[in-house]
A and B are shown apart, each in its own frame.
Chain A
Amino acid sequence: MGEAVHVNELTVHYDQDPVLKGVSLSIDEGEFVSILGPNGSGKTTLIKALTGLIHDIEGEVSLFGKPIRSYRRKDFARHVSFLPQDPPTTIPFLVHDIVMMGRFPYIKRFVTGRAEDREAVQRAMKLMRIDHLGKRHLMELSGGEVRRVFIAQAVAQESSVLFLDEPTANLDINYQVEIFRILEKFNREMNKTIVLITHDINHAARFTERVILLKEGEIFAQGEPVEIISMENMKSVFSTDVCIEYDGNNRPYILI
């Protein structure tokens, strides 16, 4: 399998102090990766630099072997989708229209309403089980439904790489598990590369194949959950004492 994302010596400054300090990493096609780390460790900055949303970066970020700067914006959007931390919840569009926005990278000016776009939207909505909500307004939906609408938008984008910034934040446990299950399904059945930020160490350990642990703008450790999620690592990154147990599949989970 080829390399999807390659990062070499990535440094990002907002003001004087660097938020990311010489981060290097590589993500293969079809991988399911989670980024963990305390607030302010540079998780969102990293994911925004990887999706081309931050311009002032030092170092190199490439996608499928080409520097991300060399992509045209629409072309890049056909390869990569990004779900920000707080998708807007009060815009007045219908659910169907919002999912249709995911087709923007494929639509030429004035050529709207193509059958293949409608089908992609239908598939995405069915997959996220929101096909009955198409004619509803976003504001009428619950938090979990809103999140599913925006994931459906990213799905309709039909990119091979998905970046998600805290896709389960502020959701009830049933929605959290549901969203991770769906992402797992994308990863396994459709071979999508998924990179997500989460605060839930247990979810990261249970669902993802690789954990990248960030501390103060640097990669503290990365590898399989069973190697990375250890008492020592948690203590040094989060300054918290935790107990670690292992489930039937030898996946670690933490107890506070």
Chain B
Amino acid sequence: MKTSKRLITGLFLLCLLLFFSFVFSVSVGAVSVEFSHTVKILMNRVFNTGISNIDAVQGDIILRIRVPRVFLGMMVGASLSIAGLVFQALLRNPLADPYTLGVSAGASFGAGLAIFLSYVVGAFMKNFLPVFAFFGGIATVFIVYLLARTRGRIQVLTIILSGVVVSYLFSSGLVLIMALLGDRAHEVIFWLLGSLSGYHKWLPHAAGISIAIICFTFFFFQDLDLMALGDDQAKALGVNTEFVRILLFSTTSLVTAIAVALTGTIGFVGLIVPHSMRLVFGPRHKVLIPASAIAGASFLPLSDALARTLPGLIFGSSMEIPVGAVTSLFGSPFFLFLLMRGKKKYWF
């Protein structure tokens, strides 16, 4: 079959992109490490080649700072892309993204609260910021779900509206916190912009859960396809729509909350990666799920690498720009290019 060959080629190219993204992101940064050194350090770590002439400082920079950061970017990129893909399918809404049900608003409120408490209770509270953000995100989704439930079932439109309303509620709570913080509010703003620089020690556990959930999502590729038909028809064909919706809302909200807790609210990835993959591969989730995960895992570390190096290249300064700004700055033209090219073939 010609089409399946094309799909396999496409997925193979995406894997190449992922590899390139990893190597590139690891080898660029504020401290310049020669590319050949980077490769040597990585090879030594992976294959135990026993190369001896490795600079210890450079080794630490690569293995302890950059590699965890790139891994975090991969995990968060894949998580947000899958969450966006699933939300768009479950809500049958092209504008849905991982934050539609209010995860980001709740998590931001939690993070703001942690920062506020660090001044009121004690500085140690800041260590718990990801925990606050995580539970803020999860709690919000839970509230939204309870609000949208009528007679044991959820209507698509009701849950979107509940998500929007509850998001506003938490956003106003956050604004209140920022007002109380006064001059120190910049800490909250910095968190809101999103960054891959912190919380690497949580990475192994977080990545374990996220990868497991992403793989689990793949079990439902057919159900997700059929839900495009609308609930009645999907049910009549044997899809347990209520169950699939609750299950996948929960799991994808969980990965989103984990991602947001560790990196702040990085926008755009969850919206644009799934749509780009639809433009390239078509509407079938059997392909879309792996494609979105791989594309998201490549896109976010690349954006982050640019966020770390662009200011240096352009202004010669060592500041970092927020990764969320880069995702949209470079993501939008690329997406528009795909949209123009595929205009005739693309309907959500």
Q: Given the complex, which residues of B lie within 8 Å of A180, measured CB to CB? A: none
Given contacts A88-B229, A104-B226, contact A97 B284 (CB under 8 A): yes
A73 at the interface (CB under 8 A from B): yes
Interface size on A, residues (CB 8 A): 37
Given contacts A88-B228, A101-B226, A109-B222, contact A77 B236 (CB under 8 A): yes
**Are B236 and A107 in contact, with the CB atoms below 8 A?**
no
Chain B 18-36, CB-CB to A under 8 Å as 1, else 0, gives: 0000000000000000000
B12 at the interface (CB under 8 A from A): no
B8 to chain A: closest CB distance in Å? 14
* Residue with the highest number of chain A CB atoms closer than 10 Å, among B235, B238, B239, B282: B238
Q: Given the complex, which residues of A lie within 8 Å of B278, measured CB to CB? A: 92
Which residue from B229, B230, B236 sits with its C-beta under 8 Å from A81? B236
B348 at the interface (CB under 8 A from A): yes
Q: Could you name 11 residue pairs across A and B whose Cβ atoms are closer than 8 Å? A: A53-B232, A53-B235, A74-B238, A91-B228, A92-B348, A93-B225, A93-B283, A105-B237, A109-B222, A112-B222, A153-B237
Interface residues of A in 100-116 (CB under 8 A from B): 101-102, 104-105, 107, 109-110, 112
Determine the distance from Cα of A52 to Cα of B234 in the docked complex, in whole angstroms: 12
Q: Given the complex, which residues of B lie within 8 Å of A73, measured CB to CB? A: 235, 238-240
**Are B232 and A84 in contact, with the CB atoms below 8 A?**
yes
B92 to chain A: closest CB distance in Å? 9
Interface residues of A in 74-101 (CB under 8 A from B): 74-78, 80-84, 87-88, 90-94, 97, 101
B305 to chain A: closest CB distance in Å? 33
Determine the distance from Cα of A167 to Cα of B265 in the docked complex, in whole angstroms: 47
Determine the distance from Cα of A83 to Cα of B239 in the docked complex, in whole angstroms: 15
Given contacts A91-B283, A92-B283, contact A77 B222 (CB under 8 A): no
**Are A82 and B232 in contact, with the CB atoms below 8 A?**
yes
Q: Given the complex, which residues of B lie within 8 Å of A199, measured CB to CB? A: none
A251 at the interface (CB under 8 A from B): no
Q: Given the complex, which residues of B lie within 8 Å of A34, measured CB to CB? A: none
B315 at the interface (CB under 8 A from A): no
Chain B 230-258, CB-CB to A under 8 Å as 1, else 0, gives: 10110111111000000000000000000
Chain B 192-233, CB-CB to A under 8 Å as 1, else 0, gives: 000000000000000000000000000100100110111011
Given contacts A92-B278, A104-B238, A139-B347, contact A84 B230 (CB under 8 A): yes
Given contacts A91-B347, A92-B347, A92-B348, contact A101 B283 (CB under 8 A): no
Determine the distance from Cα of A55 to Cα of B153 in the docked complex, in whole angstroms: 10
Chain B interface (Cβ within 8 Å of chain A)?
A: 151-153, 219, 222, 225-226, 228-230, 232-233, 235-240, 278, 282-284, 286, 345-348
Chain A interface (Cβ within 8 Å of chain B)?
A: 48, 51-53, 55-56, 73-78, 80-84, 87-88, 90-94, 97, 101-102, 104-105, 107, 109-110, 112, 137, 139, 153, 157
B238 to chain A: closest CB distance in Å? 3
Which A residue sits closest to B231, measured CB to CB?
A: A53
**Are A101 and B237 in contact, with the CB atoms below 8 A?**
yes
Which B residue sits closest to A107, measured CB to CB?
A: B222
Which B residue sits closest to A138, measured CB to CB?
A: B347
**Are A137 and B284 in contact, with the CB atoms below 8 A?**
no
Known: A82-B232, A92-B278. 17 other contacts (CB 8 A): A51-B236, A75-B238, A78-B238, A81-B236, A84-B233, A84-B236, A87-B229, A87-B230, A87-B233, A92-B347, A94-B282, A97-B225, A101-B225, A104-B226, A109-B222, A110-B219, A157-B237
**Are A102 and B237 in contact, with the CB atoms below 8 A?**
yes
**Are A48 and B238 in contact, with the CB atoms below 8 A?**
no
Determine the distance from Cα of A105 to Cα of B219 in the docked complex, in whole angstroms: 15
Q: Given the complex, which residues of A lie within 8 Å of B282, measured CB to CB? A: 92, 94
Given contacts A48-B232, A93-B228, contact A104 B222 (CB under 8 A): yes
Determine the distance from Cα of A77 to Cα of B346 in the docked complex, in whole angstroms: 30
